């Protein structure tokens, strides 16, 4: 069967169960796909082919005996590099961790394997899992599967690239500021970031941050809504065994025609290109034609969400990130953030004056958010975060809104070697990390040739960077971000499913 990569994970599982295809055939098919596309992508950086085929053979033997291992019986999938897997490093893209070996398999990976899933390999990440360019000195750089001149996103960028190339049916990543959403959007697939308290990031690096006000969560990337549901169900069940979890609703039980969906086109600071706005409006119209009530919504105090995020993530000079680097030099995108974060108040004031003269308003605004120190500072801003969440929910209540549709970024994707110039380029994604809302990505269109026109950029380096990306963006996928109230992942996935069916 030569078209397995065109099928959903759920469809493949049905084929395996009915013995229309063996697990070995499926696993071999995706291994061959990886070997075909990976030389261009550099997405899968650690390969477990022999072990995967061995597990596939065992799955076939179990099925021949009339039994099943679990819900993922014989299904291959991939995992982000930071998830622990036996006898393989979890480097986070850091040279000092190349010889790192985990004491145990990550809890979520273990849960998926216990259900019969087969890990094909680990996928690439940015240095320290920070920023939306999946590049590091351990494995190199990963390319976008649609246009290799562009980044695949990050930090779950390798997952986005290999799933976007249909060389893995589904995979897991983590998200603290957009890390399963940017790759899905840039690579033309779908994804789900759960509610902040549902599936806490249990990787050893992520667990260090569990006491913070903005925590990383494990999420799922795939090509089909049903696959997001299936994988999220399994990792949610494992999380519920370890924490006070909540049951996950089934998206198929959501009556989308009873939903009221808000939408917005801009954060009023980093204006999206016209094609991105078109994608949002097309998604809204598609939902409206399906019977969904839609209304324009203006998020309250967007800049406050931005400030909360950066103040909480950079407290104490962001040492929780930079200490892991040890003696390794940070790559440009991380270097600039570290430099700005360590700058003292007087130097920062001088920098702001100079940057204003040169029209760099994005960096000037970012500089205002650095310099916080200590537990009391963290407590104050965590309280502001909680108050902002209450304010946002109150606005949704007033508008009687169940979900929100918006851009995920101002451009469809960024060119390589430009992410360090974007500055405040991630506001659309980080909003839902601050709020703790579930959020996902649906692909709805692509950039037309006539739409690939760079904006009138002016002096700001961020806008000039965006203009270059826009001018070369023809053919790139266009996605929308969908968010809902806490614990309503079922609504997010239901809307993803509806939009994908109407493409």
- Residues labelled as active-site residues: 80, 155, 179
The DSSP code sequence of 308-327 is HHHHHHSGGGGHHHHGGGTT
**Rounded Cα gap, residues 126 and 183, in angstroms:** 12
Q: Which helix (H) or strand (E) holds 222?
A: strand 217-222
List C-alpha distances in Å: 492 to 189, 216, 373: 15, 19, 36
Distance between CA atoms of 164 and 146, rounded to whole angstroms?
A: 8
Q: How far is CA 77 from CA 22, 40, 213, in A?
A: 15, 20, 31
Burial profile 404-442: b = 16 or more Cβ within 10 angstroms, e = fewer: bbbbbbbbbbbbbebbbbbbbbbbbbbbbbbbbbbbbbb
Q: What is the DSSP letter of 263?
A: E
Q: Say how far apart CA 52 and CA 50 lie, in whole Å.
A: 5
Looking up tokens 């494995």 gives 139
DSSP 25: H
Integer Cα distance of 346 and 275 in angstroms: 42
- Both tokens of 293, joined, read 């009530």
Closest to 287 (Cα-Cα) out of 320, 317, 254, 310: 254
Apex CA 226: angle with CA 220 and CA 232, to 5°? 35
* Rounded distance between C-alpha atoms, residue 110 and residue 117, angstroms: 9
User: Angle CA(430)–CA(433)–CA(434) in degrees, nearest 5?
Assistant: 90
**Side-chain-side CA neighbours of residue 21 (13 Å):** 21
* Closest among 233, 303, 296 to 267, alpha carbons compared: 303
Here the tokens at position 371 are 């310099």
In DSSP terms, which residues pair with 346 in a beta bridge? none
Contact 105, 148 (CB under 8 A): no
Burial of 47 (0-12, 13-18, 19+ CB in 10 A): middle
Which tokens go with 429? 């994604």
Select from 204, 209, 281, 262 the least CA-distant residue to 437: 262
């Amino acid at each position: 069967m030569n078209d397995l990569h065109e099928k959903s994970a759920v469809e493949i599982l049905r084929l395996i169960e009915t013995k229309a295809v063996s697990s070995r055939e499926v696993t071999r098919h995706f291994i061959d796909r990886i070997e075909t596309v990976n030389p261009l992508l550099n997405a899968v950086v650690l390969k477990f082919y022999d072990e995967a085929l061995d597990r596939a053979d065992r799955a076939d033997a179990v099925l021949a005996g009339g039994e099943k291992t679990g819900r993922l019986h014989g299904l291959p999938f991939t995992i982000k590099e930071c998830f622990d897997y036996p006898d393989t490093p979890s480097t986070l893209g850091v040279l000092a961790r190349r010889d790192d070996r985990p004491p145990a398999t990550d809890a979520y990976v273990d849960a998926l394997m216990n259900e019969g899933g087969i890990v094909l390999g680990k996928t690439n990440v940015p240095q320290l899992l920070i920023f939306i360019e999946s590049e590091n000195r351990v494995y190199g750089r990963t390319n976008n599967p649609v246009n290799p001149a562009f980044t695949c996103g990050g930090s779950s960028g390798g997952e986005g690239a290999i799933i976007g190339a249909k060389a893995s049916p589904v995979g897991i990543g983590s998200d603290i500021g957009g890390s399963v959403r940017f790759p899905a959007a840039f690579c033309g697939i779908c994804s789900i970031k759960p509610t902040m308290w549902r599936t806490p990031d249990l990787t050893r690096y992520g667990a260090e941050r569990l006491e913070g006000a903005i925590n990383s969560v494990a999420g799922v990337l795939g090509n089909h809504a049903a696959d997001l549901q299936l994988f999220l169900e399994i990792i949610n069940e494992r999380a519920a065994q370890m924490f006070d979890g909540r049951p996950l609703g089934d998206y198929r039980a959501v009556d989308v025609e009873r939903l009221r969906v808000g939408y917005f086109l801009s954060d009023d600071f980093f204006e999206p290109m016209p094609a991105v706005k078109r994608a949002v409006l097309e998604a809204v119209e598609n939902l409206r034609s399906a019977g969904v009530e839609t209304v324009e919504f203006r998020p309250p105090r967007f800049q406050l969400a931005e400030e909360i995020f950066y103040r909480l993530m950079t407290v104490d000079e962001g040492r929780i990130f930079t200490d892991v680097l040890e003696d390794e030099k940070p790559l440009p995108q991380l270097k600039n953030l570290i430099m700005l974060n360590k700058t003292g108040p007087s130097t920062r004031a001088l920098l702001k004056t100079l940057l204003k003269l040169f029209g760099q308003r994005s960096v000037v605004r970012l500089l205002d958010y650095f310099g916080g120190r200590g537990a009391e500072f963290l407590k104050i801003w965590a309280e502001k975060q909680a108050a902002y969440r209450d304010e946002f929910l109150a606005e949704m209540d007033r508008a009687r809104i169940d979900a929100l549709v918006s851009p995920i970024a101002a451009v469809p994707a960024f060119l390589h070697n430009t992410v360090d110039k974007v500055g405040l380029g991630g506001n659309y994604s980080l909003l839902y990390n601050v709020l703790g809302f579930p959020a996902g990505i649906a692909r709805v269109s692509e950039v037309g040739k006539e739409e690939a026109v760079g904006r009138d950029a002016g002096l700001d380096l961020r806008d000039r960077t965006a203009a270059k990306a826009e001018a070369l963006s023809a053919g790139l996928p266009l996605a929308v971000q969908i968010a809902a109230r806490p614990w309503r992942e079922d609504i997010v996935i239901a809307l993803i499913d509806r939009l994908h069916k109407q493409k």
